[in-house]
Amino acid sequence: MASDGATYDSNETGSWLVCTACGTQFPTSDREKTKTCFICDDPRQFTPQTGQAFTTLNEIRSRAKNTWTPFKGDSRFISIVTEPKVGIGQRAILIKTPKGNVLWDCITLLDEETIAKIRGLGGLKAIVISHPHYYTTHVEWAKAFDCPVYLAKEDKEWTTQSSAHQVFVEDTELDIKIDGEPSGVKALKLGGHFPGSFVALYDEHLLIADTLVSTPSGLGSWDTDAVGVARTRPKGMNSYSFMWSIPNMIPLRPSELERMWGILKKYDFSSTHGAFLGADIVKTVPEMKQRVLESMQIQIRYMGYDEHAFLNETVG
């Protein structure tokens, strides 16, 4: 499908259909023309037990609003989440750099209040989206802020609209530039969940979306016991899982984890920030990299590959 409009027009697009399950916008108001969501029909996603349904941006705007939560201890990052939940319920993350603002991932709800809030913070210079489940209304956002939106070329087939604002990235590693100069934000194409799944890195903060899935044992705290005595984290616990399908619980194969690690191990990061509020792990560079590697090795071992060579890999 294609979208011909070059500028943002909320009146034109407010009645276009939005999948209630994943939040993806389709460029039509005709419910006879679009009856299913091909993103939710993919085995990585699902259609709810209640069946396929569509809403519109106008309907969402009438009942929901976006909330703003700065990262604890670092106000350069602001999580944007829609309440009540729309679609999958992920967050977008506004990254404030000296060169300008970059938006990591996208959410469906774009309204005048959100546009005014972001413009008050300096607008947007670029948008980077991790994978197709979060494509949502990215063309709307790109038009509203007249900025490029970076998507993986491998995942182009999952777009429902075409736009001159879309930039399909072929490279594995991309420095996001603003007015021709590096912003400091780097997009790393790790693949896995989707062939082009990205993570983003800025000043040792690794924004992971669903490319790495933060687990309860990764988010849990073992710093002290019930009476306040210091303790260490028990051995053998993972911090992340690596999934082809998160909701349908289909893991990635060992060779894919090995390939992903080959890209990620070159970079230092002291925290990870997942797709949802509260999915933040903040430690040190050595511990974070060790946690990622150990999580990959735990997954490989418990999939039955006890002799896999990757089990001997070290952070090094």
CATH number assigned to the domain comprising residue 111:
3.60.15.10
Q: Tell me how far apart the alpha carbons of residues 199 and 267 are, in angstroms, rounded to a whole number.
A: 12
Report the amino acid identity of residue 211: T
Domain around 154: 10-312
Helix (H) or strand (E) holding 285: helix 285-302
Q: Tell me how far apart the alpha carbons of residues 174 and 195 are, in angstroms, rounded to a whole number.
A: 16
pLDDT tens-digit readout, 9-61:
888 999 999 999 999 999 999 999 999 999 999 999 999 999 999 999 999 99
pLDDT higher than 60, residue 101: yes
Closest CA to 288 of 231, 169, 210, 205: 205
Q: Please compute the mean of the pLDDT values over residues 299-310 and round it to a whole number.
A: 97
- Domain membership of residue 300 (yes or no) is yes
Helix/strand/coil for 299: helix
**pTM (2 d.p.):** 0.96
- How confident is the model at residue 5, as a pLDDT? 59
- Domain membership of residue 112 (yes or no) is yes
- Domain membership of residue 167 (yes or no) is yes
Strands 205-209 and 213-214, by their bridges, are unpaired
- Domain membership of residue 3 (yes or no) is no
Half-sphere exposure of 130 (CA within 13 A, CB side): 27
* Residue 300's pLDDT band (cuts 50, 70, 90): very high
* Residue 71's pLDDT band (cuts 50, 70, 90): very high
Domains contained in the chain, number? 1
pLDDT tens-digit readout, 196-254:
999 999 999 999 999 999 999 999 999 888 998 998 999 999 999 999 999 999 999 99
pLDDT, the chain, mean: 96
